[in-house]
Amino acid sequence: MTVTTSAEADNPTRWRLRTRVPDDWVELAGTTTAEEALGTIRSALEQVGTPLPEADASRLLAGLQSWRDMWRRERVLLHGLVYQGAEHDGPTALGREIFWNVIGTVRPVTAFDGPLSLLEVIRRVIGAKAGIDLEQAYTETFETGVGPALGLTTEYEATYREPGAPDDVEPVRRTVGLAAVVAAPKSGGPALMLLGFSTDPAQVRGLGMLLAAMAGPATITPVDKDGNPLFSGAPAPEDLPPLDGPGTPGPAAG
């Protein structure tokens, strides 16, 4: 899987995020309605010869409407899907279906004095908030354009209600792959937070590598109310170094 497309997004907290996403990335955060997001997904699936059945489309639409509430609450900047059919025979073919769901946002992180490093505190906070057994999770640290980053991958027992299901129907339990990356400046400041799910838990390592590739060249720039940078130094999206092949400008997601 290549990561060659630039993405740029802005949010009400006045941070501008620049990063790279896969060339088969289906961006949903830039859509304005659940119906528009469904149309984007339908078009992307049709391009790879996978029609979306109407029954699945109805359930997906209900789920997207629920996602809208979360986007507004969590100030999500990026929400993308990566899909590859089992019949795909390209250089990245795995012989099975890939369906990854990735969201990203920017949150301020405050530096502090204490016996634990900032990344270790973040690791424990992620574990506590998501209910993850950190002893069973794989974690590593690496450098990014934002600052030191923590990456985490694990299997996760998700409990959720099927979109459109009646209230008296029991929630569904399913094991998925979960990957997270948090990159923050050493002295505190705006931190990049990426979270991804894979429907096949065996693919979580590849998902974690994707999040790391997205975080690596990422930059976060403060902007004023008109969207003008308060300081320069972050490269333009087209100037970001390609991770695999030549880079091309990507869409702006607001």
Write out the residue range of the structural domain in which residue 133 sits. Answer: 13-223
Task: List the Cα angle 101/105/109 in 5-degree steps.
Answer: 135
Please say whether the beta carbons of 117 and 77 come within 8 A.
Answer: no
What is the reported pLDDT for 109?
A: 83
**65 located within any domain:** yes
What is the reported pLDDT for 212?
A: 95
**181 located within any domain:** yes
**5 located within any domain:** no
CA–CA gap between residue 50 and residue 185 (Å, rounded): 42
- Write the CATH number for 192: 3.40.1000
What is the reported pLDDT for 194?
A: 93
CA–CA gap between residue 148 and residue 183 (Å, rounded): 6
**153 located within any domain:** yes
Sign of the torsion angle spanned by Cα atoms 64, 205, 143, 139: positive
Please say whether the beta carbons of 204 and 178 come within 8 A.
Answer: yes
**207 located within any domain:** yes
CA–CA gap between residue 1 and residue 4 (Å, rounded): 10
DSSP 3-state of 188: strand
What is the reported pLDDT for 155?
A: 92
**228 located within any domain:** no
Sign of the torsion angle spanned by Cα atoms 154, 120, 72, 27: negative
Please say whether the beta carbons of 119 and 141 come within 8 A.
Answer: yes
Mean pLDDT by 10 residues, the chain (254 residues): 46 73 79 82 79 76 70 75 69 69 86 68 76 85 92 86 72 88 88 90 93 93 74 45 39 35
CA–CA gap between residue 245 and residue 250 (Å, rounded): 15
DSSP 3-state of 49: coil
- Give how many domains the chain has, as a whole number: 1
Please say whether the beta carbons of 41 and 81 come within 8 A.
Answer: yes
**143 located within any domain:** yes
Overall residue count recorded for the chain in this entry: 254
**4 located within any domain:** no
Q: What is the pTM of this model?
A: 0.74
